[in-house]
Amino acid sequence: MPNPRLAPDDLLPLDRRHVWHPYASPATPAPVYPVLSARGVRLQLADGRELIDGTSSWWSAVHGYNHPLLNAAAQAQLAAMSNVMFGGLTHPAAVKLCALLARLTPGDLERVFLCDSGSVAVEIAIKMALQFWQAQGRADKHKLLTVRGGYHGDTFMAMSVCDPVEGMHQLFSGVLAQQYFAPRPAPRFGEPCTDEHIAELRHLLATHADIAALILEPIVQAAGGMWFYSADYLRRARELCDEFGVLLICDEIATGFGRTGALFACDHAGISPDILCVGKALTGGYLSLAATLCRERVTAGICEGGGALMHGPTFMGNPLACAIACASVELLISQPWQREVQRIEALLQRELEAARGLPGVRDVRVLGAIGVIEMNEVVDVARAQEEFVQRGLWVRPFGRLIYTMPPFIIDDADLTAVARGMVAVAAQARA
């Protein structure tokens, strides 16, 4: 077994031989950077360099790394038990977490199904919707409606509601379930939603009686393009679901727990979905954990058909993950998180504006603790990554996007370095 403190020259050959990294081909390996430790907002590389983390470990480490309160929660739970099956058993950490989520999430989402990851949370939400309608004698309602530009995960039903053209899953298009797609929401965040903006969504709902649920990423379409859309659109979508008797699923895996400036993105529109998915920041980036919540109407409807939701992950309700999640959520709400996100938003708006007039830049947009420079062309990720690392930054572009979703604890000096690095890399993208 390799020693994790091996020098990069020893570690990387083993990585290239045995490790398959996400969204990467071992046949043409992209550069990877060995990390030995992390604390606060900094990653310590094996070669001694330090990087300011501008991505929060794929948007999850909102408190930064090695937080003493989260470490203490993990250690205390380890002293009791790290895992126990959730079928037929329960434990304090899971019960406390479910009650906490039911209290904090929008509306009357009273029932919580714990699971392993965001993609699985979406799969469970879809199962809930389909079982609900089956129990009502409406097995014909088995299709999903969504909007273009979305991303909901890499498992099969989740892939079926990701953007079929601009998404990452064209390879599987021939075997995925076929769903309905409305245009991407056109009005930007802060703009009104007109009848014309919502017309195609209304038309699809009116003409397809087999739609079980509409699934949306509220306000922010994240991995599908970092598009920020009108809260009014989300509010009107909720109204259309009620009008046509369709469930609304909101995927807040990326947006939940303060990222957009509201505790949940649904709060911007003052709406509550029938089913809600959360994950990522749920444990502060410590362990993989997600949850799917639903209204009592959905719970009761499923129970009419026998009561059992047909899903049961081996590590469902893992005590260690649940204990850390409780500590992470309590830490967040005990602090002035909204003020910190507003601070991040103001600084990103000020610093990223310098990119707006650069050649090759299509758009610059900021919402909450999310800052985006959108290019006209696809970014050379390996080249951009190396440039960021040389600047002491960890920012990972994808597609046409150079973006940051930093930990909420990042200070102004580090955030300024991230933002100015993004502008510099955008300026060099066409060089």
Q: Name the nearest CA neighbour of 296 among 329, 317, 274, 323.
A: 274
For residue 282, give the 3-state DSSP assignment: helix
pLDDT value at position 430?
65
Q: What is the DSSP letter of 230?
A: -
**What is the average pLDDT value for the chain, to the nearest integer?**
95
Which band of pLDDT confidence, cut at 50, 70 and 90, is reported for residue 138?
A: very high
Dump the DSSP string for 35-82.
EEEEEBTEEEETTS-EEEESSHHHHT-TT-BS-HHHHHHHHHHHHH-S
267 tagged catalytic: no
pTM: 0.96
Residue 162 scores a pLDDT above 60: yes
CB distance 236 to 188 below 8 Å: no
Dump the DSSP string for 306-374.
TS--S---TTTT-HHHHHHHHHHHHHHHHTTHHHHHHHHHHHHHHHHGGGTTSTTEEEEEEETTEEEEE
Which band of pLDDT confidence, cut at 50, 70 and 90, is reported for residue 164?
A: confident
**What's the pLDDT tens digit per position in 363-397?**
999 999 999 999 999 999 999 999 999 999 999 99
As a whole number of angstroms, the distance between CA 361 and CA 382 comes to 19
Across the strands, what pairs with 175? none
pLDDT value at position 314?
94
When mean pLDDT is compared across 160-174, 230-244, 248-262, 269-283, the lowest value belongs to 160-174
151 tagged catalytic: yes
As a whole number of angstroms, the distance between CA 278 and CA 100 comes to 13
CB distance 15 to 366 below 8 Å: no
Question: Given the structure tokens 């306000």, which residue do they identify?
Answer: 219
pLDDT value at position 6?
66
CA atoms within 13 A on the CB side of 177: 16
How far, CA to CA in Å, does 221 sit from each of 152, 186, 250?
Answer: 9, 12, 11
**What's the pLDDT tens digit per position in 219-238?**
999 999 999 999 999 999 99
Residue 304 scores a pLDDT above 90: no
**Domain boundaries defined on the chain:** 33-66+336-428, 70-334
As a whole number of angstroms, the distance between CA 262 and CA 362 comes to 27
As a whole number of angstroms, the distance between CA 326 and CA 72 comes to 12
CB distance 209 to 141 below 8 Å: yes
Residue 163 scores a pLDDT above 70: yes
Strands across the sheet with 370-375, in order?
361-367, 370-375, 401-404
Who's near 18: CB < 8 A, 6+ residues apart? none
Which of 53, 280, 403, 414 is an active site residue?
Answer: 280
Which of 53, 116, 154, 251 is an active site residue?
Answer: 251
Residue 201 scores a pLDDT above 70: yes
Residue 305 scores a pLDDT above 90: no
For residue 119, give the 3-state DSSP assignment: helix
Residue 203 scores a pLDDT above 60: yes
How far, CA to CA in Å, does 134 sit from each of 255, 287, 364?
Answer: 30, 34, 45
CB distance 391 to 424 below 8 Å: yes
| 33-66+336-428 classified as CATH 3.90.1150.10 | yes
229 tagged catalytic: no
CB distance 399 to 378 below 8 Å: yes
Which of 65, 116, 141, 151 is an active site residue?
Answer: 151
The CA dihedral of 172, 385, 28, 380, to the nearest 10 degrees, is 70
As a whole number of angstroms, the distance between CA 265 and CA 252 comes to 7
Which band of pLDDT confidence, cut at 50, 70 and 90, is reported for residue 166?
A: confident
Dump the DSSP string for 133-145.
HHHTT-TT--EEE
Which band of pLDDT confidence, cut at 50, 70 and 90, is reported for residue 1?
A: very low
φ/ψ of 309, rounded to 5, equals -80, 125
**What's the pLDDT tens digit per position in 246-268?**
999 999 999 999 999 999 999 99
pLDDT value at position 310?
87
Q: What is the DSSP letter of 386?
A: H
Looking at 3.20.20.70, 3.40.605.10, 3.40.640.10, 1.10.10.10, the CATH number of the domain 70-334 comes to 3.40.640.10
For residue 267, give the 3-state DSSP assignment: helix
23 tagged catalytic: yes
**What's the pLDDT tens digit per position in 60-71?**
999 999 999 999
Dump the DSSP string for 388-405.
HHHTTEE---BTTEEEE-
Residue 3 scores a pLDDT above 60: no
Average pLDDT over residues 1-9: 59
When mean pLDDT is compared across 79-93, 104-118, 165-179, 339-353, the lowest value belongs to 165-179
Report the percentage of the chain scoring pLDDT > 90. 90
Report the percentage of the chain scoring pLDDT > 70. 97
Residue 353 scores a pLDDT above 70: yes
